[in-house]
Amino acid sequence: MREMAVFTGNAHREFAEAVCRHLKLPLGDCEVTEFSNENIFVRFQENIRERDVFLIQPIVPPVNTRLMELLIMIDAAKRASAGRITAVIPYYGYGRSDKKDQPRVPITARLLANFIEVAGANRVLTLNLHAGQIQGFFNIPLDELTALPMIADYFRGQNLQDPVVVATDVGGAKGARNVAARLGADLAIVDKRRTGNNDSAEAMTLIGDVNGRDCVIVDDEILTGGTVASSLKLLRSEGARSVHLACVHPLFAPRAYDLLDTSDVAELVYTDSVPVSRPFQKVATHTLSVAPLIGDAMHRIHTGGSVGELFL
């Protein structure tokens, strides 16, 4: 079997290092820099001929730069005769643009899949896509991992009373139902509307009973915090005893800090799939690391083991 080699761009070096620590492998040396004209330059500083190459790069702000870094790294690895190239994308940017739901709009999540394939990736490893169907945008093998069992296990140890897991929209109901099942909790669903092509969201009505109960809102990502903040308000108005928040991808735009730090959320739980720019002032937070999960999946891909067995 060809040797494994792991590299990263500039999106989330700390995470790539954590994955390498778990794998007991050094993080490979790859120069990824930008010229003053914003053109990106990549050079692998070691021989990767015939190696099983893993490129770790979440597509996070500045999104277009990090995406280009990944694509150029894939191209450089291909031209350096890597044996196989796996794009490890803990957060798949543009994931919300996954359908043509109004006239004359793109399906950017699909366009990205094309870019990644054309650049020369042989496979993709990712975590909690915005919609599972994005898998089908690729014609190369894709493994999608999930951090939801880890989130459920965390809350199982929290002594919640009569817990309810809450999905912030119908699209998130399946994931929330899985968390609820693992937690032995009920499920509630918020009917959320987006009013335009901006970031604002409004929680309209609640399906389910939360009165006097501890609630756990589970979402794939938090960006502005608008979705979870309006859901939290709704749950409170329906008599929730406490509201905990959990998301896989903590993207946290500046507004999320304002909204959540002034809320009465009991706790905010998230993974390290993307870098978090600064700590919250008032909200209690807890980070769950997905580095071991991603590392184990990479090892299984390398050795031809089952990735699905990670979730049995």
28 is an interface residue for ligand R5P by CB under 6 A: no
For residue 109 the two structure tokens come to: 């999540």
- Strand 186-194 and strand 4-8: the pairing is unpaired
Compose the 226-245 pattern: x for residues touching ligand R5P by CB under 6 A, - for all others. Answer: xx------------------
- Nearest CB to ligand R5P, comparing residues 152 and 201: 201
83 is an interface residue for ligand R5P by CB under 6 A: no
Quick one: which of 116, 39, 110 has its CA closest to 71?
Answer: 116
Cα distance between residue 176 and residue 69, in whole Å: 33
Sorted by sequence, the CB contacts under 8 Å of residue 246 that are 6+ apart come out as 151, 154, 155, 179, 216, 217, 218, 219, 268, 269, 270
Query: Closest CB to ligand R5P belongs to which residue?
Result: 227
143 is an interface residue for ligand R5P by CB under 6 A: no
Residue 302, judged by CB atoms within 10 A of its CB (0-12, 13-18, 19+), counts as middle
- Nearest CB to ligand R5P, comparing residues 192 and 213: 192
Residue 25, judged by CB atoms within 10 A of its CB (0-12, 13-18, 19+), counts as middle
* Contacting residue, 221, 260, 272, 273, with ligand R5P by CB under 6 A: 221
Sorted by sequence, the CB contacts under 8 Å of residue 26 that are 6+ apart come out as 20
98 is an interface residue for ligand R5P by CB under 6 A: no
61 is an interface residue for ligand R5P by CB under 6 A: no
Active site annotation includes 99: no
Kindly state the smallest distance separating residue 171's Cβ from ligand R5P, in Å: 6
148 is an interface residue for ligand R5P by CB under 6 A: no
Cα distance between residue 213 and residue 271, in whole Å: 25
* Contacting residue, 57, 146, 224, 273, with ligand R5P by CB under 6 A: 224
Q: Indicate left, alpha or beta for 68 from its phi (over 0: left) and psi (-120 to 50: alpha).
A: alpha
Contact window for ligand R5P (CB under 6 A) among 49-57, 221-229, 280-288, 294-302: 221-229
Kindly state the smallest distance separating residue 254's Cβ from ligand R5P, in Å: 12
Among residue numbers 150 through 169, which ones bind ligand R5P (CB under 6 A)?
168-169
Kindly state the smallest distance separating residue 6's Cβ from ligand R5P, in Å: 29
Q: Are the CB atoms for 187 and 165 separated by under 8 Å?
A: yes
Cα distance between residue 244 and residue 265, in whole Å: 6
- Which contiguous run of DSSP H or E holds residue 191? strand 186-194
Compose the 190-219 pattern: x for residues touching ligand R5P by CB under 6 A, - for all others. Answer: ---------x-x-----------------x
Catalytic residue among 78, 174, 192, 233: 192
Interface positions with ligand R5P (CB under 6 A) = 168-169, 171-172, 199, 201, 219-227
* Residues designated as active site: 192
